[in-house]
Structure formats: C-alpha cells, structure tokens
Amino acid sequence: MIIPILIASLISSINAVSIVSRSQSYSQPAVLGPQTTITIGNKVIAPDGFERAATVVNGMFPGPLIAAQKGDNFAIEVVNELKDESMFKSTSVHWHGIFQNGTNYADGTSFVTQCPIAQNHSFLHSFSAPNQAGTYWYHSHYSVQYCDGLRGALVIYDPDDPLGYMYDVDDASTVITLSDWYHVVAPVLRHIIGTTANSSLINGLGRYVGGPASDLAVISVEQGKRYRMRLVAMSCDPNFQFSIDGHNLTVIEADGQLTEPVVVDELTILAGQRYSVVLVADQPVDNYWIRSLPNLGGASFVGGTNSAILRYQGAPQVDPTTVSATQIQLAETNLHALINPGAPGIPGYGNADINLNLQITSPNGTFYVNGTAFKPPTVPVLLQILSGAQDASQLLPNGSVVVLEANKVVELTLSIITGPGGPHPIHLHGHTFDVVQSAGNSTFNYVNPVRRDVVSAGVPNQQMVIRWTTDNSGPWFLHCHIDWHLDAGFAVVMAESPSDTAAHVNPVPQDWDQLCPIFHSLSPLQLGGGGRFSYEEAANMSTKLFPPSPLP
C-alpha cells in the first residue's frame, strides 16, 4: 500500500505545483551552489508587462539564488556573453556584504578592485566567507549596469543559527527580492538628472501605472508554520515601505548580522539593505497583500502596483481583499546586534583612533564628497597599490582615496549638506560597521548599536556616524547605493594599510592580471552602451541632463 500512497502524494504535489506556477509562485526558484558558473547575457523580458531587452543572469531576472552553507568556499565563474549594443557589454559582479578578507581582487568592483570583464571573456571569483552567515546579494558593479537587471540574492545558511528556534521554514521560497524597474536602458537614463523608475517588482514581478494586469508574485505559506522571510532590496534608487497585511514581522537580521528580535508590522528597507523577518502564519486561510511602496511621487497600490500576494495553502487563487493597518514601524535605533554587541574603541563621539568627516554636496546633480566627485580611474586602485603606490597623494582618483592605518578604530561622520534624492543609503565594502548615530536621530549608542553594511545618511541637514576596525587591508569602496548617485560621483575609496596589501592578497590570480589589458584594448563599439546615441536619446526625454560624458 505504501507505493500507491506515495504515487498519489507525488501526483497531488505535482498538481499543486502546476496550479501554483500559473500564479507565478516563487516556491521553486532556480538555486545555484557556491561553486558554479553564472553567464551574463541579454534577453527580452517583461517583468511588469512591458517588453524590453535586459541584462540577465543565466537568462533570468532576478538572477538565480546562490545558496551556501556557513564555511563553504566559493568559486563562481562569471562568463560575459553580452551582445546588446544599447547596453554595456563589459561587466563586473560584486558579492555584496562578503568581506573578501585576503581576496580584495575578488570583490568585483570595477576600477577599484579590478578592470571590468570584457565581452566573450570570463573571470573566476574564488573566495571564502568563514565567519559569515546571513542574507547577501550580488549585482553588477560596472557603471549603472545593475539597473538593467544584473542582480540576484546570495544566502549563506547557518545550520547552528542561534535564532533557528524561531522559525520552521527558511529556503529559496522565503527569499523576497524587492527591485525597481525601468522601461529605458540604463546607459540612456544615466545622462538624466533625477531619473525615476517605471515600476517596482517583488520577486521579479509587478505592474506599472497604466499597464496590463500582469502576473504578481505569490508566496505560499501553510497555516501554523513560521517562516524566515529574507528581504533583499535590490533597488537602483528607491527605498521601500514593506508590510504584509494582517501579519507581524519579527526582525532577526540586518545585512548579514543577527539582531535581538524586534516585532514590527512595517519596515523601511533602503537600496542594498537586507532584513530577515519571521512571519508566523497564524491568520485565517486566505490571501493577503504583500506591500512594497517605493518612495517615489504618486506611488500607490492601485491596480496591484507595488504588490505581491501571500497565499495560505487552501486559499482560492484570487486577489486579496485585505487592507493595510500598520502601526509598528521599525526604527533603526531599536535594532541591537545579537552577537558581541558594542562599537569598537573608546565610547564617545570623536574618541576613535581615526575620526573622519565627509560632507556631501550636490549643487548641479553631480555629487561631491568633501569637494571631489568620484570619477573612476583607468587603473584600478588595487592595481595601483600592487604597483607600489602607497600614499593618498600617489593614488588616483585624486581627492577620492582615503588612506587608513592598519588595526585602527575609524569613526566616520557623513553629513548631507545638499543633495536631492535622499535618504541616501551608504555602503562600505569589506566590512560591517556599528551605527553609533542613525540619521535623523540626536542620540549616540556605543553599547549595543545595530551592526550592518548599508546605512541611511538621511537627507540634507542630517548625518550618520559609524565605526569599524581596519583589519582588512585593501581598497574598499564607500558609496551611495542609489546607483545613479554613485555614477554621479557619490563615492570614495577607503584604502586600508596599502603597505600591507600585496602580502594580504597574495597570490593574485593570473587571470586578474589580464582583465585590464583586455578591457583597455576594447573599441567603443565593443563597450556598448549606445555611444553618443544614448545621450541623444536622453535629450529627447528630458532637458535636465548631465554634461556629455565618455563611456565608463
């Protein structure tokens, strides 16, 4: 009798999958392991019902989930098969949140840690993340390329998770990606000051205002179970107000760092940030709206925009009729690191070994950090250091490299003096940091602040203060994670102990050495991005343009 029962259960599960798949459920997404190949190519897709060519990973947007276990070694071959002339044909892929301690060359940051990977070439990223577990992501770090689609989630699971007792389900089906989407290619939009997304997507699906009622993502849950939902903000620009009607969310992780559990029913998540929240499926069997409202003018939930569906097993396949009634908004100052809490160094503002102040101004759309707009150097900063440059005066770009001594506590105050488009999410590569002052908040916390890798610097007349220890020699990018702002100069390089870097990253792979000669041999046609036609197209769309600029 076991065999017929087994066959019957298999058939019923297959039927269930086929029914769910028609509603675009995310229950069986593609998953890759830590040793894999990802192919960057072009494909026409319509995630919000509008067809356009995009830059995709393995033919998919978002790219497939890369899943690993704590302690795994990564070996990810990035193969460039880009062909579309209207978009960039070179690429690089950054593994956001991975420290790359000793492997700065694998960080994937164009013109900081490597030259881009040319069309029809590849590069193997070999690295480990021995003490890291949590929710991360990967995306292009070449100009504004990730806005055209090169973005995906990366999760390192911890079989001994200290908060594992709080949830029953934590797998590919509980990763929730939030992204913005554009109907015009990024090489055109980068010329426009203040570009705006056409739609926002949840797990790669959504609708735009005035568009068709295209499929929405469905996340399936079983009544009585507890789910670790991993939220990943893959946005190029907006932040999102995230909530699920009728359900509380218990925050247990921020950017790969466990937090003391905090119960909320709504949270704001900025570009580049991640949160794990525990959702208890304790409501009546039904459909509930998942809401992800971008901070864009006129954004709403009309017509199913900025929405997805939480569907309990047994609920009919219909749109929810639930309403939003959120009351408990997450405040960053209520988040506290669970493991080894406390900012490094002597408590008190200005008491670190190195106290830095960065002031951001943007008088004309271009962003200046202490008076200098970041312009990518032709020779990556890491290659400059390995070639013997040690001092800030020797390192390019001039005025955009801050040299830091080894094993010092850094306290960075970043202030927005002028600058549109805030709040600005600030990301530091190679580290997490302790947020001792959150933007818009007057209090300091050195005892148990949240530890993360992307933090809001707020809006004009606000500041944030963070601390970290310089224990990872190499050049690390610090930048606004609104990709249009990064492209417009909102970045600096933190060069940690350049004199130690050659020994710390030894040996650099031979293939890494070949990236620059190959890239610098490319013609404008081989670079793609539409050439001068991209500027002409932008001029047809808007009068608010940056001055013409060469291809990155």
- Catalytic positions, please? 94, 96, 139, 141, 424, 427, 429, 479-482, 485, 490
**What type of residue sits at position 18?**
S
From CA 428, how far away is CA 362, in angstroms rounded? 21
Distances (CA, A) of 72 to 75, 132, 161, 252, 325: 10, 10, 15, 23, 42
CB 367 within 8 A of CB 419: yes
What distance separates the 2 farthest-apart alpha carbons in the chain?
79
Token pair for 468: 């970290």
CA 409 from chain centre, in angstroms, equals 26
- Is residue 127 within 8 A of residue 98, CB to CB? The reply is yes
How many secondary structure helices (H) and strands (E) does the chain include? 8, 31
Q: Lay out the sheet containing 218-221: strands in order across.
A: 218-221, 307-312, 287-294, 240-244, 267-269
Angle at 425 between CA 420 and CA 426, to 5 degrees: 115
Q: Is 97 exposed, middle or buried (0-12, 13-18, 19+ CB in 10 A)?
A: buried
CB 245, CB 283: distance < 8 Å = no
